[in-house]
Structure 1
Amino acid sequence: MVGKKSGRAQLREEGLARTDNNLDLTTWPQVNMINQKNYYTEFLKREEQYLAFRAPAEEATARMVQAARDKDRALAFGATPEGTAEQDDEDAAEDAALSSSHADPSKLVILHPGSQNLRLGFGTDALPKTVPMVIARRWKEAECEENDGEPCPKRQKVDGAVPASALPEKWFGEDFANQYQAMCSELRTRMRTNKKRVLPNSKELVVNYNRRAGVEHINEHNDVNRIEWTEIPSNHSAAPDYFTGQEALRIPEQSNPRYKLFWPIRNGTFNETDYTGRNQLYHDISKIIEEALKSQLGLTDLKDLANYRCVFIIPDLYERNYVTMLLDILIRDLGFGKVCLQQESLSATFGAGTGIACVVDIGAQKTSICCVDEGLCVEESRINLKMGGADVTEAFIKMMLFDHFPYSEMNLRRRYDFLLAEELKQKFCSMDENDVTVRTHEFHLRAPGQDTRKYTFKTYDETMLSVMGFFKPSIFDHSRKLDGFRSVMPRSVDLYDGSPNDPFSAAQQVVIDYAAGTSTSMNGTQDSTNSLPVASTPSRSQTQNLLNRLNDGEATPRSSVANSPVPEGTPNPDQETPGDADQPLVFRDPVLEKTKAANERDKVLPVMPIDEAILQSITLGARGDDRKLRDFIGGIMLIGGGSKTPSLGAFLETRLRELRPLYGKEILVAPPPRDFDAQVVVWKGGSVFGRLSSHGNDSWISKAEYNILGSRLLTHKCMFVW
């Protein structure tokens, strides 16, 4: 009898035993399970993992390697080395750093576009070139012929036309007449208070003289300052499709074919009134910059721009679509090799050589106010007012026409009248009360195809009251400044939730509230009850809850009964009242609320007296720090073309001291130092910044990086919060 075999022997003999042949069940790589209690990853936690940080470092390394190779090649060809090997290595590193940081300033272009002028130049230029930011395109009619030839300033019409018998005092409506006369009375009272001589019949002298003033005709060949107008070929097919810059402003209105002027930037942002499409805006801005580069800087071949860097100046309180479109124009359309974006106020401090200041930039159609501290713009202090020097020009002409200006056909929609009005404003407007006297002036009117006309006229207080519009904006005409807004360029929204993401500031909200008539306090300080943060916990006091529990006999207080912050988009039960038990719960949509708030802001034109706006910006920029408040209020820098009005800084300083008598000794309003032109100090700051060492400066956007990531690079490349 055979003995009983074990189970293991049976498996072995019958071939059922499992053997290991060291072969995997599959060739796919097997990933071990992650320890859920302790795991770690370095994904997107180091700067070299971002293209925006890695690419500049790789370029610097490549330049150092190339510099070392060049030196080795020079030594191989018999160059005599100087110094020790350690010194040679240090010199090579310094040479590489210098070549990477201090690039050739002649290859640096600085662009500062505005509503009226474009300033551009090389990094080696002491002053920029100035070109009108306008393009004239072939059109069916000129701009002065649109809307049945409606003039600017707009005259009131009766039965569709301006009656010839109407007096100039009634041309602009009763509201303007009342405001103008009230400002005249206030100025007379102020001058008497300041012991200034005031003649009782000054206004009558001006009106009577202007009524009788005649005109003298001068033949064109006798006019030594005659204007060379842009010639248009008689052949339609040979006529250019567009003109830019000064040539566009010198085209006769009655040219054949007709040309219409387009100003792509209006009030500091895109002009959506005269444009109907985004592509037209894109191409007009591109052509203006391209022609300026060719005519002013001699860069005739756009392919060479790949070897140039560009510092582009943007507003402090910008719109994201504005920045992204212009960045796309500079890199993809024009082909710059590298582009850097810088804010206007920060650039102004670079140009002036100061570290802390409150920058007040009065441009042609906008006024920006911002506090700059330690090389950064204080976000909550940024203000953008939609008024500027062009409003002063229009108000000055309206006041002159009101006082029977001898050239009563003045129309700012005509190109030669527009240039004449700018010339008269720059010559005669002043904020010095000593200049408010009856004075006789003359000017020459030069129109295409006509003899030169010489006019003589008198002025009194119009030269000062028109500039006073900065302190009383209601005298300006704001009726058409919001026309077409958001009709061409939509608002920028967040990629994930669709909420508006254009930058905004607390100071700008104060301006919006003031313009909308909802402001409760305009004394430059915030109401303490309104400045408290909104709490998401119940409003009852935790201290009172603790006392109640102790009075109820609890020896040890329980944990707080205050709820956690309520998630967005959910109802808050603590806000319910006993009577609302049967009512449905109301859900909050934060995206919808932000969109509605942005829509309401877009309906209000941000306009405010400039002195009060400065105080609001300084108050919110100081954040309650009295030392910073005194630094800002003692470092108000007045720049921009609109600030060149004589004695405007002194008058603004007086107004600020009247509003803040406690800081009367600290308040100081001054122009840029070192006798800088107030119009070019921002451009000069961009030039200074572009020539600084790029060591640690990662704000340059290269063409290769932009082609890969597009405008997403701005999150890592901007010196400000994007």
Structure 2
Amino acid sequence: MDYLKTVVPSQLLAERGSNLVVINPGSANVRIGLAQQDAPISVPHCIARRTSQVPKRNVQDQLLNSQVTTAQHMERERAYDIIASLLKIRFLDEEVTNNQFSQKMGRVDGFPPQNNNKKETIIPWTDVLEKQTPSSSSSSSSSSEHGSSLRSEDPSTEKESNVNEEPSSTGHKYRECIYGEEALRISATEPYCLRRPIRRGHLNISLYYPMQQVIEDIHAIWEWALIEKLHIPRSERHMYSAVLVLPETFDNREIKELLSIVLRDLCFSTAVVHQVVLPAIFGNGLSTACVVNVGAQVTSVICIEDGVTLPTTQISLRYGGEDVSRCLLWTQRHHQTWPPIRTDALTKPIDLLMLNRLKESRCQIREGEVEAVAVVHSYEDGVPPGSHKTRLTALNVPPMGLFYPMLLVPDVYPPPPRTWFSDNEDMLEDTWDFPRRPDMSDGYFPGSGGYYPMWENYPVFQSRPKKQDTIGLADAITKSILSTGRIDLQRKLFCSMQLIGGGALTEGLVSAVEERVLHAIPSHEAIDTVEVLQSRTSPASVPWKGGAILGILDFTRDAWINREDWIKNGIYLGSGRKYRDSYFLQAQTMCYINS
């Protein structure tokens, strides 16, 4: 403790952060970096594998139905008109006559641009071929070793290595695996299948995307990031520890599988898991707050008091920034401002990438007509991208879908197969306090594709439902805080709201949250003040930064899990430690820092 009071922060970062890797995975992106770095590297959480399957699936996903029903369409139009009334803009089917809205007209590009020129540049197609030369063959084989060694369970992939569709005389061949943004920019005519291993805050398991493939893809993406982005080869991984900063939506079994990837497959010496909310408030120097995490596909709300998470306050909403991007496309098409091009955010990943950039640079929340001249692009298979200059309108409507989720109409997914999520008690609760069954052996059991962890042998508990798909963000925040039941804590939480996640970067969202939460509080509640606290760093990376600080300040390491212990026994009562001890550790650290 005396050392902590005298040491220079930069010295502490250099001493303890050089061999500590922090991984913060999400549905759309994974943020990864060394704890000593100022900010993480963020890459799309996806992988494209070469395939020879006929017919080819361009995207291996669990999407069930992307069609909007008549009832959903009517609800969406009603939600639009409600928002239009609040923002003082014309209704969905109302024509502008006699220039009646001219005095309220505003243009987003009149504000300081957020790298608008960069956002609207043409997104190039990915070059899926690699040139094999004597000098590059060894380096390319080493960099793709982690991808080619992880094969899909799809039988069609067994013969992929023997298929050479390209002319052999050119010396080119297809890349076996493509990661990150490059995977999103592959044309549908190329022999690749895109996979997103995490969807809507859970492992993206379906009949078309088996568990083993999901695990292999996560392993491959993280291995690629460690080698290509952080330059940490597998041979040196035993000298590093890992901090996993995971979303609250993950269930126990999903957390266990990710721990197995980090310790067993990626070969880190030790690892610890923190949920996003505690590193988020710790990264901002807080001890009590209502954390609102606006992610790409999931928005979650949860309260923390004195460094201790309150599980009963957790609310998870199945919508996020990507739904706002798709709503942007729907709004423009309804107003007939979108060019006559084939844009499909669900089946064409490059279109969603373009829409995300348009949303980030153009959408904001404020009253009045918000329009902007922008350049949108068409991406047709087999031809170069095209540019189309147009005037976008109602740019303040899509982000308001966070408060009126029926405007967003999230896509529909089937439930996971079998009983994968039966063991889905919240990891914040006492779900690990049970001995292993006497008929259960140590370690792993062999299977056709390697060794599988024995989590099936743990008892199954029923848990409460956490999803509240139709509730708006302001109502979710209000409901979460009021569920604490104590007026003193409620007042403190309403004045200590914290917005994190990529969606929190939306201009005008802070004031919109404050205004709408204040109106959502019932009149009989003795609360008349709300405030969103300003983040000390980027809201998108503050959980990663908090995880890095926690990992550096953790001197006792009581909650850390050794690789050998995990592979041999897992974590159970007889080991003398419990997985959730990390939460008490965080609370202790936070109390010390804020004292």
TM-score (norm 2): 0.72
Preserved CA contact (<8 Å) 2:60 2:194 = no
Larger Rg: 1
Is 1:244 the counterpart of 2:179 in the alignment? yes
Alignment match, 2:192: 259
Preserved CA contact (<8 Å) 2:123 2:354 = no
Preserved CA contact (<8 Å) 2:299 2:316 = yes
1:179 Cα shift? 3.2
Residue identity matched to 1:639: I
2:562 to 672, 694, 702: 702
**Which residues in structure 2 correspond to 1:616-627 (within 5 Å)?**
616-620=479-483, 622=484, 624-627=485-488
Deviations for 1:55-83, whole angstroms, at most 9, x for unmatched residues?
xxxxxxxxxxxxxxxxxxxxxxxxxxxxx
- Normalized per residue, the structure richer in strand is 2
1:403 Cα shift? 2.2
Alignment match, 1:490: 420
Preserved CA contact (<8 Å) 2:342 2:378 = no
1:239 Cα shift? 2.6
1:124 to 19, 22, 36: 36
1:246 Cα shift? 2.2
Alignment match, 1:641: 502
In structure 1, the gaps of 5 or more residues are 1-89, 155-171, 206-222, 494-499, 506-591
Task: Note closer, same or farther for the CA distance 1:278–1:670 as it changes in structure 2 (3 Å cut).
Answer: same
Alignment match, 1:278: 211
Alignment match, 1:367: 299
Preserved CA contact (<8 Å) 1:202 1:460 = no
RMSD: 3.7
Residue identity matched to 1:374: D
Preserved CA contact (<8 Å) 2:64 2:412 = no
1:202 to 96, 99, 109: 96
1:459 to 374, 392, 413: 392
1:295 to 221, 225, 228: 228
Alignment match, 1:653: 514
1:332 to 264, 276, 281: 264
Alignment match, 1:422: 356
CA distance in 2, matches of 1:373, 1:680: 22
CA distance in 2, matches of 1:439, 1:204: 21
CA distance in 2, matches of 1:375, 1:504: 13
Alignment match, 1:104: 16
Task: Note closer, same or farther for the CA distance 1:362–1:428 as it changes in structure 2 (3 Å cut).
Answer: same
1:324 Cα shift? 0.5
Deviations for 1:481-533, whole angstroms, at most 9, x for unmatched residues?
3x1x231662354xxxxxx745589xxxxxxxxxxxxxxxxxxxxxxxxxxxx
Task: Note closer, same or farther for the CA distance 1:415–1:190 as it changes in structure 2 (3 Å cut).
Answer: closer
Alignment match, 1:666: 529
1:421 Cα shift? 1.4
Alignment match, 2:581: 718
Task: Note closer, same or farther for the CA distance 1:683–1:431 as it changes in structure 2 (3 Å cut).
Answer: same
1:328 Cα shift? 0.5
Percent identity of equivalent pairs: 24
CA distance in 1, matches of 2:74, 2:568: 60
CA distance in 1, matches of 2:520, 2:407: 21
Deviations for 1:407-466, whole angstroms, at most 9, x for unmatched residues?
3411121132122111121122111114x24543333445564344221323332x2222
Task: Note closer, same or farther for the CA distance 1:226–1:373 as it changes in structure 2 (3 Å cut).
Answer: closer
Alignment match, 2:330: 398
Deviations for 1:160-212, whole angstroms, at most 9, x for unmatched residues?
xxxxxxxxxxxx554355334433433443345xxx8999733999xxxxxxx
Preserved CA contact (<8 Å) 1:134 1:263 = yes
1:689 to 527, 544, 550: 550
Preserved CA contact (<8 Å) 1:110 1:121 = yes
Partner SS, residue 242 of structure 2: strand
Preserved CA contact (<8 Å) 1:430 1:646 = yes
Partner SS, residue 312 of structure 2: helix
CA distance in 1, matches of 2:468, 2:356: 25
Task: Note closer, same or farther for the CA distance 1:329–1:607 as it changes in structure 2 (3 Å cut).
Answer: farther
Partner SS, residue 464 of structure 1: coil
2:78 to 173, 182, 185: 182
1:378 Cα shift? 1.2
Residue identity matched to 2:533: A
Residue identity matched to 1:406: P
**Which residues in structure 2 correspond to 1:41-120 (within 5 Å)?**
104-120=16-32
CA distance in 1, matches of 2:90, 2:504: 27
Preserved CA contact (<8 Å) 1:102 1:693 = no
Deviations for 1:360-381, whole angstroms, at most 9, x for unmatched residues?
0010111111111222211211
Preserved CA contact (<8 Å) 2:571 2:579 = no
Preserved CA contact (<8 Å) 1:135 1:288 = yes
Higher relative contact order (CA 8 A, sep 6+): 2
Preserved CA contact (<8 Å) 2:84 2:90 = no
Alignment match, 1:3: none
1:224 Cα shift? 8.4
Residue identity matched to 1:260: C
CA distance in 2, matches of 1:261, 1:472: 31
Residue identity matched to 1:640: G
Partner SS, residue 254 of structure 1: coil
1:229 Cα shift? 2.1
**Which residues in structure 2 correspond to 1:180-579 (within 5 Å)?**
180-192=76-88, 201-202=95-96, 227=124, 229-232=126-129, 235-236=164-165, 238-255=173-190, 258-273=191-206, 275-299=208-232, 301-404=233-336, 405-412=338-345, 413-434=347-368, 436-445=369-378, 449-461=382-394, 463-481=395-413, 483=414, 485-487=415-417, 490-493=420-423, 501-502=425-426
CA distance in 2, matches of 1:101, 1:442: 43
Task: Note closer, same or farther for the CA distance 1:352–1:242 as it changes in structure 2 (3 Å cut).
Answer: same
CA distance in 1, matches of 2:361, 2:199: 25
Larger mean CA deviation between 266-275 and 686-695 belongs to 266-275
Task: Note closer, same or farther for the CA distance 1:232–1:378 as it changes in structure 2 (3 Å cut).
Answer: same
CA distance in 2, matches of 1:151, 1:272: 13
Preserved CA contact (<8 Å) 2:128 2:174 = no
TM-score (norm 1): 0.60
2:47 to 113, 135, 154: 135
CA distance in 2, matches of 1:429, 1:101: 37
Preserved CA contact (<8 Å) 2:494 2:529 = yes
CA distance in 1, matches of 2:546, 2:218: 23
Partner SS, residue 612 of structure 1: helix
CA distance in 1, matches of 2:91, 2:334: 21
Task: Note closer, same or farther for the CA distance 1:363–1:142 as it changes in structure 2 (3 Å cut).
Answer: farther
Residue identity matched to 1:647: G
Larger mean CA deviation between 643-652 and 183-192 belongs to 183-192
Preserved CA contact (<8 Å) 2:79 2:406 = no
Is 1:615 the counterpart of 2:547 in the alignment? no
Residue identity matched to 1:292: A
Residue identity matched to 2:309: C
In structure 2, the gaps of 5 or more residues are 100-119, 132-163, 167-172, 430-458, 585-595
Preserved CA contact (<8 Å) 1:253 1:415 = no
Preserved CA contact (<8 Å) 2:296 2:322 = yes
Preserved CA contact (<8 Å) 1:317 1:504 = no
CA distance in 2, matches of 1:442, 1:225: 9
CA distance in 1, matches of 2:249, 2:378: 39
Preserved CA contact (<8 Å) 2:80 2:91 = no
Partner SS, residue 440 of structure 1: strand
Partner SS, residue 127 of structure 1: coil
